[in-house]
Structure 1
Amino acid sequence: MPKKKIVFQPIKFSSLEECLESIPEHELKIVEALRKIIFNCIPDVEEKLSYNAPFYKRKGNICFIWPGSIPWGKTKEGVQLGFSKGYLLSDDGYLEKGNRKQVFWKTFYSVKEIDTDKVSALLYEAVLLDH
């Protein structure tokens, strides 16, 4: 009897643009604001799709943006900015960690909630850890 293939993600985006086009407008505004901060802080960052969400890397993964509208994530509302090595960042409780040991994140529900200085500082620190 053939094995039944398990489908992890019901959607497979062919490009980052296709992913962004699928995001509802209220989340897209947050995503675009976070992308702008990331590119301002890390001009040489590579943006790629991983798990059908935008991930940002240089030598290794630095961070990711996970909109709540992506159905296979744990985020159901808002947009998460996650840090791949969040456990190494000095974040004074700003980041959420849930029950995760390595990846920490901040969930934003509006553009107004984004503290550009705080996010930028975390991004600069994350780049220093990317060796």
Structure 2
Amino acid sequence: MLNVKFSRIEDLLDFLPTKERQLIEQLRELVFENIPDVTERLSYSVPYYKRNKDICFIWPASVLWGKNKSHKGVRFGFTRGHLLTDEAAYLERGTRKQVFWKDFAKLTKPDIETLRQYLLEAVLIDESGTTM
């Protein structure tokens, strides 16, 4: 299913093209700044972040899901995105029911601020134990 398998974040970062690596490093920093007690782990060979349950993930396009690239750049996703307030439809969902995401070729200040707000809301959802 996956084209690569990593057991350490460092191995993933070493594998990535420079632009994807830079984006992932920016997004990781954003997660750690806004959720200081978050746990980072690899799942499907990409970083996932959790406290009580999975909150979000960062999926570089170089790590394929299946045989083809499903996106370009880096995907930042929320595992319970369906519970987030997304009135502006900033996040994408495709045909997914729960997972919402945004793909990035670069990060702008407005993107960072918007993601920060989603992260803070996702933490509140995680603390509440809400799943539906």
Structure 1: give runs of 5+ residues left out of the alignment.
1-7
1:91 corresponds to which residue? 86
Confirm or deny: 8 A CA contact 1:67 1:75 kept in the other structure.
no
1:91 deviation in Å? Answer: 1.6
Give runs of ≥4 in structure 1 deviating > 6 Å.
none
Residues 47 and 71 of structure 1: is their aligned pair in 2 closer, same or farther, counting only changes over 3 Å?
A: same
TM-score, scaled relative to structure 2: 0.87
Residues 114 and 25 of structure 1: is their aligned pair in 2 closer, same or farther, counting only changes over 3 Å?
A: farther
TM-score, scaled relative to structure 1: 0.88
Task: Return the match for 1:27 from 9, 20, 24.
Answer: 20
1:76 deviation in Å? Answer: 3.2
Confirm or deny: 8 A CA contact 1:86 1:102 kept in the other structure.
yes
Structure 2: give runs of 5+ residues left out of the alignment.
none
Q: What CA RMSD, in Å, does the superposition of the two structures yield over aligned residues? A: 1.5
Aligned-pair identity (%): 48
Counterpart check, 1:106 vs 2:102: yes
Counterpart check, 1:45 vs 2:38: yes
1:4 corresponds to which residue? none
1:114 deviation in Å? Answer: 6.0
Confirm or deny: 8 A CA contact 1:46 1:56 kept in the other structure.
yes
**Within 5 A, what are the aligned runs for 1:9-24?**
9-24=2-17
Counterpart check, 1:116 vs 2:108: no
Paired residue total? 124
